[in-house]
């Protein structure tokens, strides 16, 4: 293994795994910290998926350090910490504390932080994160249930989370190429900077950053920052080129969509699936809290739908309704009620012969995959930028697509199934 990656949520890990596989690295994704002595087979990159984005910073640090130690013990030459391309975090963390703890572990002086992912509309310019044409703080991310992003200036956002000094590698430096970036980082390090937000608005910028980071012990960013890393190993003669998968055979069994994301993209996908005639059941957190909606009842509804097509179970709701629910139940409890219910539903469905699960939402996917018990995933064909089908390794035998809430076109819930072979 050459590259050891740690992702702060499951859909992010999948997105990163896809990026590495597409750029020719043999990639395997693990769910949770791998046990000591895990055999990673012929994997050139291992991506460990944590569920550490919104837990207490201390716990996120401990979990990330444990993952990094497991990867280093297995021979990782470089560590990559992956977070969301919308920099999902709060002033309490968890990006800053985790990056600084990993720097300490590695005995490294500095790391860059670059969430840019142009293919999904995320770009960073003058340290400001844009979602499409809007500043992050004007995008739907300002209303995220767990990590509302109300400041687009990432230098400022990260500085509020970090102890060390945060600086910027501006786009005009990136435009001058990898040597200029390396020089800028060395100068910033000498001036006492520990974390550097890096501008990037195109894939070419990300490849320049990748090339500049060949020898960096730690790299941090969205999945875009991984784009140029396989080439570094290839230039050094350490890897060949493994073609990315173009199709995937799915195990026999029924299909279901579980959506716990309240992002604008997912709400659009829910509306489009319902408009296309897909059977859909809405989860209502207040009903779950009152005991009027439970896993057995929801699973029974799914089982009663036409076995030919997928049915949709969703809790996705608009920001005003989410806020109302949160003020009555608390942010954490509202989220946990939905996540636990969807986890319990997925167990019943798995045990009833469902083998194809499409899950929308990072936290939601973490809860569902933990409940299903899938531990290692092989990356299959790409459905939308950042979203592949995956096939579990070992038991249980499942096809899983884990979609970050923001990702995918409006017809994603309807069209994703076309990429699976029977």
List of long-range contacts for 65-69, beta carbons under 8 Å, 24+ apart = 65/101, 65/102, 65/105, 66/33, 67/6, 67/33, 67/34, 68/4, 68/6, 68/102, 68/105, 68/106, 69/105
The residue (of 194 and 267) whose beta carbon lies closer to ligand ADP is: 267
260 lines the binding site for ligand ADP (CB under 6 A): yes
Phi then psi dihedrals of residue 147, to 5 deg:
-130, 70
205 lines the binding site for ligand ADP (CB under 6 A): no
Phi then psi dihedrals of residue 420, to 5 deg:
-100, 135
Site for ligand ADP in 381-420 (CB under 6 A): 404-405
The residue (of 192 and 330) whose beta carbon lies closer to ligand ADP is: 330
CA atoms within 13 A on the CB side of 333: 12
145 lines the binding site for ligand ADP (CB under 6 A): yes
Written as six digits, the tokens of 324 are: 């109302």
Q: Which of 4, 285, 310, 343 binds ligand ADP (CB under 6 A)?
A: 285
Q: Which of 334, 345, 379, 383 binds ligand ADP (CB under 6 A)?
A: 334
Q: How far is the CB of 334 from ligand ADP (least distance, A)?
A: 4
Q: Which of 339, 357, 389, 420 binds ligand ADP (CB under 6 A)?
A: 339
140 lines the binding site for ligand ADP (CB under 6 A): no
Sort strands 387-393 and 376-384 into parallel, antiparallel or unpaired.
antiparallel
86 lines the binding site for ligand ADP (CB under 6 A): no
Q: Which of 2, 295, 338, 416 binds ligand ADP (CB under 6 A)?
A: 338
52 lines the binding site for ligand ADP (CB under 6 A): no
Q: Which of 44, 109, 205, 363 binds ligand ADP (CB under 6 A)?
A: 363
Contact 413, 275 (CB under 8 A): no
From the number of C-beta atoms within 10 Å of its C-beta (0-12, 13-18, 19+), residue 10 rates as: buried
Q: How far is Cα 118 from Cα 315, in angstroms, rounded to an integer?
A: 29
Among the residue ranges 33-41, 97-105, 159-167, 256-264, the one whose residues contact ligand ADP (CB under 6 A): 256-264
List of long-range contacts for 35-40, beta carbons under 8 Å, 24+ apart = 35/70, 36/70, 36/73, 38/70, 38/74, 40/1, 40/74
Q: How far is the CB of 131 from ligand ADP (least distance, A)?
A: 13
Contact 151, 143 (CB under 8 A): no
Q: Which of 261, 346, 355, 375 binds ligand ADP (CB under 6 A)?
A: 261
Task: Write each residue from 314 to 333 as x if it is in contact with ligand ADP (CB under 6 A), else as -, in one continuous string.
Answer: -x-x----x--xx-------
Instruction: Enumerate binding residues for ligand ADP (CB under 6 A).
Output: 144-146, 260-263, 285, 315, 317, 322, 325-326, 334-335, 338-339, 361-364, 404-405
């Amino acid at each position: 293994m050459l590259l050891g990656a740690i992702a702060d949520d499951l859909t992010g890990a999948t997105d990163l795994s896809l990026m590495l596989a597409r750029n020719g690295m043999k990639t395997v994704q693990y769910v949770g910290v791998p046990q000591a002595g895990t055999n990673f087979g012929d994997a050139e990159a291992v991506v460990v998926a944590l569920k550490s984005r919104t837990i207490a910073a201390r716990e996120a640090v401990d979990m990330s350090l444990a993952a990094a130690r497991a990867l280093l013990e297995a021979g990782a030459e470089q560590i990559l910490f992956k977070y969301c391309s919308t920099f999902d975090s709060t002033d309490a963390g968890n990006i800053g504390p985790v990056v600084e703890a990993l720097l300490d572990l590695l005995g490294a002086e500095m790391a860059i932080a670059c969430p840019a992912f142009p293919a999904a509309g995320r770009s960073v310019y003058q340290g400001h994160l844009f979602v499409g044409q809007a500043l992050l703080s004007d995008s739907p991310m300002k209303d995220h249930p767990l990590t509302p992003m109300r400041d687009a200036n990432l230098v400022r956002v990260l500085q509020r989370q970090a102890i060390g000094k945060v600086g910027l590698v501006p786009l005009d430096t990136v435009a001058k190429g990898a040597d200029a970036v390396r020089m800028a980082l060395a100068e910033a390090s000498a001036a006492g900077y520990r974390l550097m937000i890096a501008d990037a608005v195109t894939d070419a910028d990300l490849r320049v950053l990748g090339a500049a980071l060949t020898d960096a012990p730690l790299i941090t960013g969205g999945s875009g920052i991984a784009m140029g890393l396989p080439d570094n190993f290839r230039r050094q003669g350490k890897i060949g080129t493994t073609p990315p998968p173009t199709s995937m055979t799915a195990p026999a069994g029924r299909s279901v969509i579980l959506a716990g994301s309240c992002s604008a993209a997912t709400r659009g996908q829910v509306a489009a699936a319902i408009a296309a005639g897909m059977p859909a059941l809405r989860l209502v957190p207040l009903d779950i809290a009152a005991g009027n909606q439970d896993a057995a009842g929801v699973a029974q509804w799914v089982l009663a739908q036409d076995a030919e097509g997928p049915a949709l179970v969703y809790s996705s709701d608009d920001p005003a309704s989410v806020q109302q629910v949160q003020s009555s139940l608390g942010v954490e409890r509202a989220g946990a009620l939905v996540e636990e219910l969807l986890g319990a539903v997925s167990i019943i469905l798995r045990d009833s012969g469902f083998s194809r699960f499409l899950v929308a939402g990072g936290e939601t996917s973490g809860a569902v995959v933990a409940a299903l018990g899938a531990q290692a995933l092989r990356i299959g064909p790409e459905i939308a930028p950042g979203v592949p089908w995956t096939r579990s390794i070992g038991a249980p035998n499942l096809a899983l697509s884990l979609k970050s809430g923001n990702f995918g076109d409006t017809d994603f819930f309807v069209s994703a199934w076309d990429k699976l072979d029977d």
